[in-house]
Chain A
Amino acid sequence: GESVGLHLPTLSVQEGDNSIINCAYSNSASDYFIWYKQESGKGPQFIIDIRSNMDKRQGQRVTVLLNKTVKHLSLQIAATQPGDSAVYFCAENPLGGSNYKLTFGKGTLLTVNP
């Protein structure tokens, strides 16, 4: 079956540094990708998304990069803050798939040290 996975289950960074969270996907037919942030005891929160016809998309302090050649997705957080500490999930939607059938990765725990 298809899967979405993460290279690093944990990431620890210093406050003010940039963070990079990686995600590998195996379904070459996926056309839509999302990053979610989940703080302890809360539900996932949308961060940023990107479609397969794009290589890069920027938001506020966050950038998502998509490399379709190697089926790799990354989330970059600039000037990481303690409030960024959370689990980050990537998710994909296969081309032509239902809007509800996202495949989620296992998550990366980001810890920001003051």
Chain B
Amino acid sequence: NAGVTQTPKFQVLKTGQSMTLQCAQDMNHEYMSWYRQDPGMGLRLIHYSVGAGITDQGEVPNGYNVSRSTTEDFPLRLLSAAPSQTSVYFCASSYNGEFGGYTFGSGTRLTVV
């Protein structure tokens, strides 16, 4: 049982490039979310999903797309990377959507130059 797995752990992009941050969980959790964490700040919700085929926007969705074709995977796509998207990205999953039950991945540190 690996929990929540995020890949890659580190990434450097040039402005304008696109990429996909991967997130997979093996706990059969229905609820999955993406957050970004900037220096000196708490986490901010980007997108979330309550099940396969269902996604919705969080607090800071601009510049990001998500899809949920399977229960296990919830990839986050950066359409055209900008320096403002330099951040640490966390994926989280939960069985029933209760906050205490969220399991976070170890994060992807993204730098856009």
Question: Would you call B33 an interface residue if the criterion is a C-beta within 8 Å of the partner chain's C-beta atoms?
Answer: yes
Given A34-B99, A43-B104, are A100 and B33 neighbors across the interface (CB < 8 Å)?
yes
The answer on a CB contact under 8 Å between A49 and B99 is: yes
A31 CB to nearest chain B CB (Å): 12
Name which of B43-51, B62-70, B73-81 contacts chain A. B43-51
The answer to whether B58 touches A105 (Cβ under 8 A) is no
- Of listed B4, B44, B56, B100, residue having the most chain A CB within 10 A: B100
A104 touches B107 (CB 8 A): no
* Total residues of chain B contacting the partner, CB 8 A: 25
- A61 at the A/B interface (Cβ < 8 Å)? no
Q: In the complex, how many angstroms separate the beta carbon of A12 from the nearest chain B beta carbon? A: 18
Contacts of A102 in B (CB 8 A): 43, 45, 99
Give residues in B with beta carbon < 8 Å to A.
Answer: 4, 31, 33, 40-45, 48, 56, 58-59, 90, 92, 97-102, 104-107
- 21 A-B pairs with CB atoms under 8 Å apart are A42-B106, A43-B105, A43-B106, A44-B43, A44-B90, A45-B104, A46-B100, A46-B102, A49-B99, A89-B42, A91-B42, A91-B43, A93-B99, A99-B97, A100-B97, A101-B58, A101-B59, A103-B42, A104-B41, A106-B40, A106-B42
